[in-house]
Structure 1
Amino acid sequence: MARTVRRPPLLAPGANIRIVNPAWPSMSYAPQRVQRAERALRAMGFEVSYGEHAFDITDDGRSAGIAEHRAGDFMAAFTDPGVDAVMSAGGGATSWELLPLLDAPAIRRNPKPFLGHCENVWLHQYLLYEADLVSYYGAAFMAECGEVGGMFAETAASLYRAVTFEGTLSYQPVPDRTNEYFPWMDPQIEATPRTRSIEGGWHWLAEGLGKGQFVGGEMAYLLRCLDRFTPDLAGTVLFWHVMPNNPAPVASLLKDLADRVDLTALAGMVVGTDPRHEPAEWANLVATTLADVVGPVDYPVLANADIGHTDPVWVLPYGADVVLESGVGLHFAPAAR
């Protein structure tokens, strides 16, 4: 019997967004970015609060406090009636440590929007497969909201619509992107505005119309999540992207994915753009590799979507039903307030 998945309540003006730090202690390393990120959310009309341990840092510098404290902040955000939404400060390799410490029934009783990306896919999948809750993938507090010069307009608009809009959510490609990255550890370097010098747009590698649950993530972490949660992805619209520091060839990643998932049984596939490649080059690489690994498919395949380690970026309902139509885009049905 299929499980019922719930969309969280939409946010109203003045909603309190609680910032939690599931993994890397980015807020301790870049306090100037925290200030910009908070201003960005407040400019949208939201209130901002922080988990008790959001600014902690472990002795090895890898995590924002011990796992019990990080998980405690996550659960407190869901169970606190004064909190309306939960947002991750950012990614980090230790997000998975929270899973055995979370309380799925408590989250089901207190459904709220959760926003995160990349390594936070551990939490997106936990919310979907263990708490039956849709979340929002694509933007985190530090990376997107803390952008120098303010959030990119397309990212801000996508985030705001995702968590407040009652109508159909539709997604179109941005006109141009940035592939620049400036380390956050040095405030002078981090304060450099990024330029948008890469052409935007998308590439349809296969045409058609597909309908299904929208799931996926950064490829390396998605593979590990599939081993942990073992979901049946037949009939889903699967999305994936690759971190710029992931050295694995895309062919190896797709073969690993095909070992876990029947890629011929999907309803659609969405591939995020890769800032290491020119868009046309990346689309050709994905198309060639998909043909070699999977062969012909009878569902739409979109490459160079604004998902993953790219900016501006889309914010999308993770686990909600989506329509993917070649030449048209992605459409999610309205959510109830």
Structure 2
Amino acid sequence: MTERTLDILRPAPLAPGSLVRIISPALPSMAFATVRAERARAALEGLGLRVDFSPNCFEVSDDGWSAGTPQMRADDLHGAFADPEVAAVLCAAGGSTSAELLPHLSPSVFADNPKPLIGRSDNIVLSAFLENRARVSSFVGVTYVFQFGELAVPGETLNSFRQVLMAGDPVTYQVSASRTMGGRNWRMLAQDETPLERPRSGHHDWLRPGVGSGPLLGAELSVLPRLVEAELLDPTGCVLWWDSLKPELSYVHERLEQLAKLIDFRTLNGMLIGDNPWVDYEEWLALIAGFVDRHLGGTDFPIFVGGDCGHYDPAWVLPYGDRLVLDSERGVIYRDGEETGYDDHIRGGKDVR
């Protein structure tokens, strides 16, 4: 482990029969996409897991954008971690209101009851809170309704979930041969019964070769600057991960320039960048190359672009706050060179029971 991850608390892998609690920290997708929710349950049960739901999981706020009030959603998150029967906590969907939970969260609840929190997109603010305030690692890349509720969950997504969350072995992430052209409108989920289409090639490149490792930290470009400003993300020594939810290259350029004013990129150990499936891949690479030329002079850390780590499918399950290795010869690797088979939660490689 790197110095930054020596004190991170890594939850143990899930075992067959483990109970996964579904929470809705942002969008009220469970109230609308009931058919997808049942498919998602079947998909998780197909992995040998059990599923139950938080008390407010199916609520809808007065404005229709959240699953209940911030306090209700925070209570569900606290309750899931405090419940000894729950082995993992899976977010139903992302959205734009996960940050409303932060004033209501207690770091000790998570530090005293470490278990995997799994989310995507806007849910990453919760992962940042766990990493920064409770020193607990979590996982990003999938949600209950969006990824597991598909008519046919991509095999690559299921494999990543199994390897990362249900085993203790090193994981070398494999790039899918094709991917979707972005996400789906959450308000259409109840009516959307079409299988995923994957018209885009699985682009990926080492924009800069080399080897680097550190805790994986980051978020979508609209969220990432806010995490830094709120002191929920310290980029020193990390592998910084980012992607864009929007297709406009002008938006991406503005966000990157904003980020350059907040972060000393010389302190990074690597950069992992998702594809932008709404735009031509060569245009995407050119924009990133321009950003590198303007702001990353004097650095030599590896930069990987593409892979299954953006707002599209299939999806990697990535370890937020835990050590990730970028190696242009060997790939993107989790748990590289570590002993396997965790009996319980570990901190710095040591049993903390």
Q: TM-score range by the shorter chain?
A: over 0.9
| Aligned-pair CA distance for 1:287 | 1.3
Conserved? CA contact 2:180–2:196, under 8 Å = yes
Conserved? CA contact 2:176–2:307, under 8 Å = no
In structure 2, how many angstroms separate the alpha carbons of the residues matched to 1:135 and 1:188?
Answer: 29
Name which of structure 1's ranges 44-53 and 305-314 shifts more when overlaid on structure 2. 305-314
Q: What are the Cα deviations for residues 242-286 of structure 1, in whole angstroms up to 9, with x where unaligned?
A: 113777532211111111111122111010111112333312221
In structure 1, how many angstroms separate the alpha carbons of the residues matched to 2:185 and 2:301?
Answer: 39
In structure 2, how many angstroms separate the alpha carbons of the residues matched to 1:19 and 1:94?
Answer: 17
Partner of 2:234: 232
Partner of 1:61: 64
In structure 2, how many angstroms separate the alpha carbons of the residues matched to 1:246 and 1:118?
Answer: 18
* Equivalent residues, number: 336
Partner of 1:331: 333
1:11 aligns with 2:8: no
Segments of structure 1 that go 5 or more residues without pairing to the other structure are: none
SS in 1 for 2:235: coil
Name which of structure 1's ranges 325-334 and 181-190 shifts more when overlaid on structure 2. 181-190
In structure 2, how many angstroms separate the alpha carbons of the residues matched to 1:268 and 1:28?
Answer: 40
Partner of 1:30: 33
In structure 1, how many angstroms separate the alpha carbons of the residues matched to 2:148 and 2:189?
Answer: 17
Name which of structure 1's ranges 325-334 and 194-203 shifts more when overlaid on structure 2. 325-334
| Aligned-pair CA distance for 1:77 | 0.3
In structure 2, how many angstroms separate the alpha carbons of the residues matched to 1:172 and 1:28?
Answer: 34
SS in 2 for 1:303: strand
Partner of 2:103: 100
1:91 aligns with 2:100: no
**Residue among 266, 269, 272 paired with 2:271:** 269
Written as runs of structure 1 = structure 2, the 5 A alignment for 1:205-216 is 205-216=207-218
1:122 aligns with 2:125: yes
Name which of structure 1's ranges 288-297 and 17-26 shifts more when overlaid on structure 2. 288-297
Partner of 1:177: 179
1:113 aligns with 2:116: yes
| Aligned-pair CA distance for 1:13 | 0.2
In structure 2, how many angstroms separate the alpha carbons of the residues matched to 1:131 and 1:42?
Answer: 30
Name which of structure 1's ranges 155-164 and 228-237 shifts more when overlaid on structure 2. 228-237
Cα distance change, pair 181–254 in 1 and its aligned pair in 2 (3 A) = closer
| Aligned-pair CA distance for 1:183 | 3.6
1:319 aligns with 2:341: no
- Normalised to the residue count of structure 2, the TM-score between the two structures is 0.90
**Residue among 155, 158, 167 paired with 1:156:** 158
Conserved? CA contact 1:214–1:320, under 8 Å = yes
Cα distance change, pair 295–249 in 1 and its aligned pair in 2 (3 A) = farther
User: What RMSD over aligned residues (CA atoms) do the two structures have, in Å?
Assistant: 1.9
Cα distance change, pair 184–123 in 1 and its aligned pair in 2 (3 A) = closer
Q: Which amino acid aligns with 2:102?
A: L
Q: What are the Cα deviations for residues 106-165 of structure 1, in whole angstroms up to 9, with x where unaligned?
A: 211110001001101110000101111110011111111111x22100011101211111
In structure 2, how many angstroms separate the alpha carbons of the residues matched to 1:331 and 1:72?
Answer: 35
**Residue among 71, 74, 81 paired with 1:71:** 74
SS in 2 for 1:191: coil
| Aligned-pair CA distance for 1:188 | 7.5
Conserved? CA contact 1:20–1:87, under 8 Å = yes
SS in 2 for 1:264: helix
Partner of 1:137: 140
In structure 2, how many angstroms separate the alpha carbons of the residues matched to 1:137 and 1:231?
Answer: 15
In structure 2, how many angstroms separate the alpha carbons of the residues matched to 1:140 and 1:293?
Answer: 33
**Residue among 200, 203, 227 paired with 2:202:** 200
- Normalised to the residue count of structure 1, the TM-score between the two structures is 0.94
Q: Which amino acid aligns with 2:177?
A: P
Cα distance change, pair 184–237 in 1 and its aligned pair in 2 (3 A) = closer
Percent same amino acid at aligned positions?
35
Name which of structure 1's ranges 298-307 and 11-20 shifts more when overlaid on structure 2. 298-307
Conserved? CA contact 1:28–1:56, under 8 Å = yes
SS in 1 for 2:147: helix
